[in-house]
Amino acid sequence: MKKDIILCGVGGQGILSIATIIGEAAMNENLYIKQAEVHGMSQRGGDVQSNLRISSQPIASDLIPRGAADVIISMEPMEALRYVPYLSPEGWVITSSVPFKNIPNYPDIEAVEAELAKIPHVVCIDIEQLAKDNSVPRSANVILLGAAQQALGIDHDKLEAAIRRVFARKGEEVVEANIRALEIGRDKGE
Amino acid sequence: MKKLLLGDEAIAQGAIDAGLSGVYAYPGTPSTEITEYIQGNATARERGLHSRWCTNEKTAMEAALGMSYMGKRALVCMKHVGLNVCADPFVNSAMTGVNGGVVVLVADDPSMHSSQDEQDSRFYGKFAMIPTFEPASQQEAYDMMAAAFDYSEQQCLPVLMRVTTRMAHSRAVVEVAEEPRPQNELNYNSVAANWVLLPANARRRNDKVTAQQAALEADAQASIYNRYEAAAAPQPCGQKYQLGIIASGIAYNYVNECCPAPRPFPLLKVSQYPLPKVLVRRLLDECQQVLVVEEGQPFIEEQVRGVFESHNILGRLTGQLPRTGELTPDSVGAALGLQTPQRAMPEVVAARPPALCQGCGHRDVYSALNEVLQEFDNPRVFGDIGCYTLGFLPPYKAIHSCVDMGASITMAKGAADAGQWPAVAIIGDSTFTHSGMTGLLDAINENADITVVISDNLTTAMTGGQDSAGTNKFEAICRGLGVAEEHLHVVVPLPKNMPDITRLLRQEINYHGVSVIIPRRECIQTFKRHAKERKK
């Protein structure tokens, strides 16, 4: 088993929480993990990404080579495109459809969608509307994770158990909201 | 016991498990999480390990030497440019030597993700004649901490441990000890004559440390962290391999990613310096060409090449690898002749640079400053290191310099000396106590015609909101240094206070002497965090 995953978005969108849940699930399966993160200046509203690699064999590089990522999970549609050079030919893109416009020259969303459509395997979801409609407003990122579970090749039960462990400190309400979000994402991603 | 740890956290856990008594540090990306981990660690709290932030890297290094003097183990952490700040005590710590082990952990930032240069700290190790460790993985970083402390005490020298961003900020599963080792007892074994660097003492120590270098190299030769990995198949007698590789630190991982063992060529992994020349000699003897793969500047490559052109040493200096910037599996793969098909980034993707947060007090400070300064011809604003450096970018475009910690005040003074007016300095609270206070004293002693803005958000914000050494003390510090009461003002940077702030700025720029304005409002990030904590 080996999955190279790029998580991306804009600083503050919660990509590291997604990474923590996947990492927890992988650690529980005794898999090898490498997860390169971005800290520091770029977190202030800039583009951020995390390279997450999980494997049943030891992993050498902390960084994913270009053309090798199995999955891109993106909290923002233009940010998904930024990492397309890293995507393997048959790789999956799971992205939020909602643009985050904090720059004056944000491109036409139609142009972004057209580029996404050129990639063979894309799941594009309005996770923010889904989060609102289902009363889990703070768990849009976990909806995205739910939609990615098939591409990740990690069982729903294992992600659910990881969510229980990761959010245990924050109380039962937060745990349940995130598990609901994971299910919503799963149903949407199928 | 297995733990999923950032490289920085593995280093911190390794230090605690090695019997650490204190960590001394100033926050700096990518080294900050080491000290934060120790601050939050239960064992560290039970043991009462020192872990409070220091005012700057120099005070940190010197406090660590004091702890070592008394026989205990101390860790000093900083980013690469922090080593410039503490270069004086660092270099001289080789002359004093140590009693309790000292590890100086420096996190370099090749490609300058959060820094103003990409200097390679290994040069400092060589320059100071201090043994240097460079782990290749999070596990090795953990293991090396105990080894480095032991080695420091064995050699009576500090050890420099050099990591880079990708090691510091990448997580991996690390096998850690069940039980931390006990701390050293306080002892009086330090020989005062070694620590009093009068010329007569220092000359003796300099001879000793210089003579010690051969032993350090022999240890590097035998180190388990330096490894000669033979090629999969032997060459026919008398024939050389076409290529051999020297890979240091995490560059070793990129070679393994592209070309895992068993490999068709021999490889020398280097993680402990001085450079083990005998191992390098063996590789040169066995190979027609040697590719040097190292993160940072061509430190090994230059040593192996010497000063003359050498056609069989390849690397950053000969174009096989990029001359600057951090390595990637792709750049190393290209140097090894590998190619992978890949898509191009669509042209529609726009750059998304970082920006000051919505609601940040620095924004209001820059709005006010810009409004007032447009009334003057050729105003100059000397900036400093922190979130507020982002004031250079649109929409503010408000600062005209940013060089190093504290340079805002001193550069404004120098500009005023040259005849510039208005000369404004803008500096954050933590940067001011780190390196701004001494410059302000210079300005006051000459009554320089400058206006200093200390933008106080009550924290060290850019590195994630650590305690700031001068909180609640700034007015007293400024008065103590000699700022006149009538030219020292505190304001709250909020849009509703804009008329007051602009009036004060205008008034103080027109005063031909030193004035200090302190806009004070909590960082919006720590404010949110504190609000959340209060809710709990």
pLDDT recorded at residue B244: 97
| C-alpha closest to that of B459 among B508, B512, B386 | B386
pLDDT tens for each residue of A66-124: 999 999 999 999 999 999 999 999 999 999 999 999 999 999 999 999 999 999 999 99
Rounded to whole angstroms, the Cα distance separating A112 from A99 reads 9
Looking at the complex, report in whole angstroms how far the Cα of residue A178 sits from the nearest Cα belonging to chain B: 19
Looking at the complex, report in whole angstroms how far the Cα of residue B522 sits from the nearest Cα belonging to chain A: 16
Answer whether residue A40 shows pLDDT above 80: no
Q: Which CATH superfamily is domain B361-528 in?
A: Thiamin diphosphate (ThDP)-binding fold, Pyr/PP domains (3.40.50.970)
Answer whether residue A42 shows pLDDT above 70: no
Element (H, E) at B16: helix B7-17
Q: Which segments of chain B belong to CATH 3.40.50.970? A: 2-222, 361-528
B 156-175 residues inside an 8 A Cβ radius of A: 166-167, 169-173
pLDDT along chain B (536 residues), means of 10: 95 98 97 98 97 98 98 98 98 98 98 94 98 98 98 98 96 96 98 97 98 98 97 90 97 97 96 97 96 98 86 94 97 93 92 92 98 98 97 95 98 98 98 98 98 97 95 98 98 97 98 98 94 84
Looking at the complex, report in whole angstroms how far the Cα of residue B255 sits from the nearest Cα belonging to chain A: 8
C-alpha distances (whole Å) from B419 to each of A150, B15, B383, B448, B450 are 67, 52, 19, 10, 11
Whether B257 sits inside 8 A of A60 (CB atoms) is yes
Looking at the complex, report in whole angstroms how far the Cα of residue B310 sits from the nearest Cα belonging to chain A: 30
B 219-248 residues inside an 8 A Cβ radius of A: none
pLDDT recorded at residue B124: 98
Hey, is the C-beta of B390 within 8 angstroms of any chain A C-beta? yes
Query: Hey, what's the torsion of the CAs at B184, B185, B191, B196, to 10 degrees?
Result: 80
Residue B47 φ/ψ, nearest 5 degrees: -80, -10
Q: Work out the burial of residue A105: count CB atoms within 10 Å of its CB; fewer than 13 is exposed, 13-18 middle, 19 or more buried.
A: exposed
Pick B237-335's CATH classification: 3.20.20.10, 3.50.50.60, 3.30.200.20, 3.40.50.920.
3.40.50.920
Rounded to whole angstroms, the Cα distance separating B294 from B297 reads 8
Residue A147 φ/ψ, nearest 5 degrees: -70, -20
Whether A78 sits inside 8 A of B349 (CB atoms) is yes
CATH code, residues B2-222: 3.40.50.970
Q: Suggest the residue from A4, A24, A30, A41 to mutate for an interface test with chain B (most B CBs closer than 10 A).
A: A41
Output B489 or A15, whichever has higher pLDDT.
B489
Confidence of residue A44 (pLDDT cuts 50, 70, 90): confident
pTM: predicted TM-score of the whole model, two decimal places: 0.96
Could you tell me the domains of chain A?
2-189 (3.40.920.10)
Helices (H) and strands (E) in chain B, counts: 22, 18
Which ipTM was obtained for this model? 0.94
Rounded to whole angstroms, the Cα distance separating B100 from B18 reads 12
Rounded to whole angstroms, the Cα distance separating B80 from B270 reads 20
Output B280 or A11, whichever has higher pLDDT.
B280
Q: Suggest the residue from B349, B356, B524 to mutate for an interface test with chain A (most A CBs closer than 10 A).
A: B349
Hey, is the C-beta of A56 within 8 angstroms of any chain B C-beta? no
Whether B329 sits inside 8 A of A61 (CB atoms) is yes
Rounded to whole angstroms, the Cα distance separating B40 from B51 reads 9
- Across chain A, mean pLDDT equals 94
Q: Which segments of chain B belong to CATH 3.40.50.920? A: 237-335
Q: Work out the burial of residue B416: count CB atoms within 10 Å of its CB; fewer than 13 is exposed, 13-18 middle, 19 or more buried.
A: buried
Rounded to whole angstroms, the Cα distance separating B26 from B106 reads 12
pLDDT recorded at residue A41: 67
Contact A35, A88 (CB under 8 A): no
Hey, is the C-beta of A55 within 8 angstroms of any chain B C-beta? no
